[in-house]
Amino acid sequence: MNKTIAKGAATALPLNTILDGDCIERMASMPSNSIDMIFADPPYNLQLKGQLHRPDNSMVDAVDDEWDQFSSFGVYDHFTRAWLKEARRILKPNGALWVIGSYHNIFRVGSALQDEGFWILNDVVWRKSNPMPNFRGKRYTNAHETMIWASKSEGAKYTFNYEALKSLNEGIQMRSDWVMPICTGHERLKDANGDKAHPTQKPEALLHRILVGSTNPGDVVLDPFFGTGTTGAVAKMLGREYIGIEREESYRKVAEARIKGVRKFDREALQVSASKRAEPRVPFGQLVERGMLRPGEELYSMNRRHKAKVRADGTLIGDNIKGSIHQVGAHLENAPSCNGWTYWCFKKDGKTVPIDVLRQQIRAEMQN
Amino acid sequence: MNKTIAKGAATALPLNTILDGDCIERMASMPSNSIDMIFADPPYNLQLKGQLHRPDNSMVDAVDDEWDQFSSFGVYDHFTRAWLKEARRILKPNGALWVIGSYHNIFRVGSALQDEGFWILNDVVWRKSNPMPNFRGKRYTNAHETMIWASKSEGAKYTFNYEALKSLNEGIQMRSDWVMPICTGHERLKDANGDKAHPTQKPEALLHRILVGSTNPGDVVLDPFFGTGTTGAVAKMLGREYIGIEREESYRKVAEARIKGVRKFDREALQVSASKRAEPRVPFGQLVERGMLRPGEELYSMNRRHKAKVRADGTLIGDNIKGSIHQVGAHLENAPSCNGWTYWCFKKDGKTVPIDVLRQQIRAEMQN
DNA sequence: CGGAAAATTGAATCCTTTT
DNA sequence: GAAAAGGATTCAATTTTCC
């Protein structure tokens, strides 16, 4: 019954559309536990005083739009808590939130989301390879922005495509600092006058990494501060469903046209390196049942220091110890745990071969 | 009159000593408006639960000290506001605060200091060149910590040695992200048993840059969480006065001995030799994230005999083979290894161009 | 003694399924 | 829901051991 309701609610979501209006109100009308991931790029509360000039006296086109003005931290905090509360409600239990901000607002946002019950998984730094210099030489070049990645609550599961991210980084575990250029050139959207269509357009590369790492194809991604639709554009490319909320009509129009021109990558390209954890479980006993290993046959530890005999029920027996391949390995190594599949080897034609090779054989057969 | 009082108060400060006890109480007994700079490395409130083992089954020596235990965010916030309030009071009107933290606590600290009236000047990211990996592959490598630099109030003056920092950075304006290794080797202080004397000793290079940038010789630097005295040691080298507060006797003793052995640099020694940086490694995945190559796009081998398709995670898929650009190249050529960068080409305007051209483009951007 | 290989270690909110 | 069992997982740098 629950399932039916949830499903009905989920199919009622306005997938792949850009909603008009205030994001708090719009989210309030969405069903609970229905969104896989939320990417939010809220107003930064920049509080820029006066105008900023470059050394050559040209003027810097700063973010001074009406939507970025908050009269005090209190007002900003109130707004922040309100949208975070709705965001958390509509997120699936195993969903996740990404927020981006600068030092002007990120500490408010981070505190607020912790207070609302989100559980921070990482903070990630976007290190800009081409930031705007500090023209007056009064501070450090503001060369980064901060993102927070959080699950709905402590202990919740979350999507993390570890292997895919590792592949993106040439085989090395992805770190919490990402080097990427700011959005310029052809990617930067212009309005009819040739001015930039949005003051803080985010690079698609940033969203690419976030979506590949934290969602799967078919997942629903919501962006409550849609702007000119970078989230939607990248979601479409990557075969994810998007929902945008944006109150400025001009931004919505630009986003609409932009996403229309985006093509989804073909299915094969969307396949991503899978984790071993996703592979089907093979009981060691199957190797014995199939005759790949025979009862009484001896296995040798990787380090050649120990051996044990295979028994008909798929357990091992060694010196003073009986049990699974993992238990016996852990006991012999005096370790808290042991992966028996990679620990034990058998002899074949005089060579020593890890038993994991046999597991892979079985898995390959299962594919067919 | 004011000036005389302030001066009198300043000379009464316990310069170049390490004070015993709780930092809030100790600061409470110091005169207002008397300190030039405060560097604070407060407890991070890590909230670690169980134990963590490396893949080789060795155990990670966690920070589980009593001083890092707080029963809730509320308790931590209360503590944070209390020390920040005293810190701000004793700071000179043109003084500044530096705080370091991780995602566990930095958002609490940042919000609190804004609420207390501090004015954030920058957040600065310490990017660790050799962080501890994420052993279970469940999150991003925690490869950075965050520092906040703040003046006593909005509009206050503050010390910023722009040119000195620019020199430290090979003539380029210093950015808000600093790459430095963690504190290991000879610099890492050991106790009588040969174990680390403090679980979270900070590298001297970090304090060096902070003190060169934010203080002048003769300035008074206070560290309310002194630990084993990195702040004091570097302050002494650089000809600044320090005051440390530390409640653990064992840390105080180590710090005392350490600082005793430090010699003040003579002027020439303060010149820092610049090191040339190696060519940065560019993961192939970045070309995909940045849209320079699109998932599904075909690459062609130099010899035109093979082709393969790009996937969204930066791997290639060819006939019966998936993997990195190097792995697929090596497999197709039946070679032990292959430099994918020079092996693969893509089509542009009908011409075949090596993908290495794209890598060079990225490197050029990074130089800026 | 020199060089190579092995061991050690770092502010970490670090698992999932079956019984 | 608790307890037991299966089994997946690491990068850079320094220090120690081995040959």
Q: Closest to B122 (Cβ–Cβ): which among A139, A164, A335?
A: A139
Range B265-286 average pLDDT: 61
Give B196-218 pLDDT, tens digit per residue: 999 999 999 999 999 999 999 99
Phi/psi of residue B205, nearest 5 degrees: -60, -35
Which residues does chain A have within 8 Å of residue B173's beta carbon, measured at their own beta carbons? 133-134, 137, 140-141
Q: Are strands A241-246 and A17-20 parallel, antiparallel or unpaired?
A: parallel
Residues B122-151: tens digit of each pLDDT: 999 999 999 999 999 999 999 999 999 999
Q: What are the distances in angstroms from CA A277 to CA A161, A162, A242, A364, B136? A: 11, 11, 28, 16, 12
Residues in chain B: 368
B322 vs A contacts (CB less than 8 Å):
273
Only one residue has tokens 């030092």, namely A103
- Name the DSSP class of B306: -
Joined tokens for residue A89: 């409600």
Report the candidate in A211, A270, A212, A262 with the shortest Cα–Cα distance to residue A236.
Answer: A262
| Separation CA A40–CA A315 (nearest Å) | 52
What pLDDT score was predicted for residue A366? 85
Asked whether the beta carbons of A323 and A315 are under 8 A apart, the reply is yes
Min Cα–Cα distance to chain A from B4, Å: 30
* Contact criterion met (CB < 8 Å) for B366 and A131: no
Average confidence (pLDDT) over A207-232: 98
Residues B233, B192: Cα–Cα separation, whole Å: 20
- Asked if strand C contacts B199 at the CB level, meaning under 7 A, the answer is yes
pLDDT at B276 over 60: no
Of A141, A204, A272, the CB nearest to B313: A272
Query: Worst-scoring range by mean pLDDT, A69-78, A201-210, A228-237?
Result: A69-78
Determine the distance in angstroms separating the CA of A4 from the nearest CA of chain B, rounded to an integer.
32
B217 close to A (CB below 8 A): no
Straight-line distance from CA B185 to C1' C2, in Å?
22
User: Among candidates A64, A50, A144, A109, which has minimal Cα distance to B122?
Assistant: A144
- Average pLDDT score, chain B: 91
* C-beta within 7 A of nucleic chain D, residues 308-327 of A: 323-327
Q: What is the mean pLDDT of residues A354-366?
A: 94
**Residue A234 contacts residue A37 (beta carbons within 8 Å):** no
B295's CB contacts (< 8 A; 6+ apart) are A237, A265, A266, A269, A270, B288, B310, B311, B312
- A12 — pLDDT class (breaks 50, 70, 90): confident
Place of tokens 């006593």: B152
Query: Alpha-carbon distance A285 to A237, whole Å?
Result: 44
* Beta carbons within 8 Å of A224's beta carbon, 6+ residues apart: A23, A26, A27, A38, A40, A42, A83, A87, A245
Stronger pLDDT, A5 or A31, i.e. the higher one: A31
Calculate mean pLDDT across residues B42-59.
96
Q: Does position A215 have pLDDT exceeding 60, yes or no?
A: yes
Is the Cβ pair A122, B114 closer than 8 Å? Answer: no
Measure the CA dihedral A240/A245/A251/A254, to 10°.
Answer: 30
pLDDT above 70 covers a percentage of chain B that reads 93
pLDDT band at B96 (very low <50, low <70, confident <90, very high): very high
* pLDDT at residue A52 tops 90: no
What span, in angstroms and rounded, lies between the C-alpha atoms of B344 and B350? Answer: 16
pLDDT for residue B253 is more than 60: yes
The proportion of chain A whose per-residue pLDDT surpasses 70, expressed as a percent, equals 90
Q: What is the pLDDT of residues A107-142, one digit of tens each?
A: 999 999 999 999 999 999 999 999 999 989 999 999
Which residues from chain A sit within 8 angstroms of residue B153, using beta carbons?
none
Say if residue A361's pLDDT is above 90. Answer: yes
What are the E-state strand segments in B108-236? 119-128, 144-151, 177-180, 220-223
Q: What is the pLDDT of residue B363?
A: 85
Q: What percent of chain A has pLDDT over 90?
A: 83
The pLDDT value recorded for residue A6 is 43
Q: How does A39-63 read in b/e, with b if 16+ C-beta sit within 10 Å? A: bbbbbbbbbeeeeeeeeeeeeeeee
Give pLDDT, residue A309.
Answer: 97
Alpha-carbon Rg for chain A, nearest whole angstrom, is: 27
Are B123 and A133 within 8 A, CB to CB?
no
Chain B window 65-124: residues with CB closer than 7 Å to nucleic chain C are 68, 102-104
Say which of B140, B288, B295 has its CB closest to residue A174.
B140
pLDDT at B167: 80
List all residues 6 or more positions away from B202 whose beta carbon is below 8 Å from its beta carbon.
B41, B100, B183, B227, B230
pLDDT at A9: 45
Which residue has better confidence, A270 or A53?
A270
Query: For the residues A232-245, what does the mean pLDDT come to?
Result: 98
State the CB neighbour count (10 A cutoff) for residue A194: 6
CA B259 to chain centre: 23
Say how far apart CA A169 and CA B25 lie, in whole Å. 48
Cα–Cα dist A261/A204, whole Å: 14
- Residues in chain A, how many? 368
pLDDT digits (tens, 9 = 90+) for A243-292: 999 999 999 999 999 999 999 999 999 999 889 999 999 999 999 999 99
**A33 exposed, middle or buried (CB, 10 Å; 0-12, 13-18, 19+)?**
middle
Q: Which of residues 295-324 of B touch A (CB under 8 A)?
A: 295-296, 309-315, 317, 322, 324
> Which strand C bases fall within 7 angstroms of a protein CB?
8-18
pLDDT of residue A212 exceeding 90: yes
Quick check: A76 pLDDT over 80?
yes
User: Which of A73, A125, A140 is the mutation pick for testing B, counting most B CBs within 10 A?
Assistant: A140
C1' nearest to CA of A154: which nucleotide? C13
Buried b (16+ CB within 10 A) or exposed e, A307-330: ebebeeebbbebeeeebbbbbbbb
Query: What average pLDDT score do residues A211-224 get?
Result: 98
Q: Quick check: B140 and A333 CB within 8 A?
A: no
* The predicted structure's pLDDT at residue B86: 98
The pLDDT value given to residue A47: 56
Q: Is the pLDDT of residue B272 over 70?
A: no
Report d(CA B322, CA B306) in Å as an integer: 14
The residue that leads in pLDDT, B152 or A74, is B152
Q: Is the CB of B50 under 7 A from strand C?
A: yes
Q: How confident is the model at residue B274 (pLDDT cuts 50, 70, 90)?
A: very low
Q: With 70 as the cut, is the pLDDT of residue B238 above it?
A: yes
Distance, C-alpha A320 to centroid of its chain: 46
Q: Which residue has the tokens 């960068």?
A: B341
Tell me whether A195 touches chain B (CB under 8 Å): no
Among A45, A100, A114, A139, most B C-beta atoms within 10 A, so best to mutate, is A139
How close, in Å, is residue B262 to chain A by CA atoms? 29
pLDDT band at residue A350 under the 50/70/90 scheme: confident
Structure tokens given for B330: 């090596």
Q: Give how far B219 is from chain A: nearest CA, Å.
A: 19
Query: In degrees rounded to 5, what are phi and psi of residue A160?
Result: -145, 105
The pTM is what? 0.91
pLDDT of B11 above 80 = no
Are A336 and A330 a contacting pair, CB within 8 Å?
yes
Residue A127 is inside which H or E element, if any? strand A119-128
B86 vs A305, residue with greater confidence: B86
A131 in contact with chain B, both atoms CB, cutoff 8 A: yes
Q: Compute CA B156 distance to the chain's CA centroid, rounded to the nearest angstrom.
A: 26
Residue B221 pLDDT > 90, yes or no?
yes
A-interface mutation test, from B158, B169, B177, B355, most A Cβ less than 10 A away? B177
Question: Judged by CB atoms within 8 Å, which residues 326-365 of B form the interface with A?
Answer: 365
How far CA B144 is from CA of A126, A160, A182, in Å, comes to 11, 20, 21
Q: Is residue A88 helix, strand or coil?
A: helix
Q: Cα(B346)–Cα(B360) distance, rounded to whole angstroms?
A: 15
The distance (Å) linking the CA of A89 with the C1' of C2 is: 65
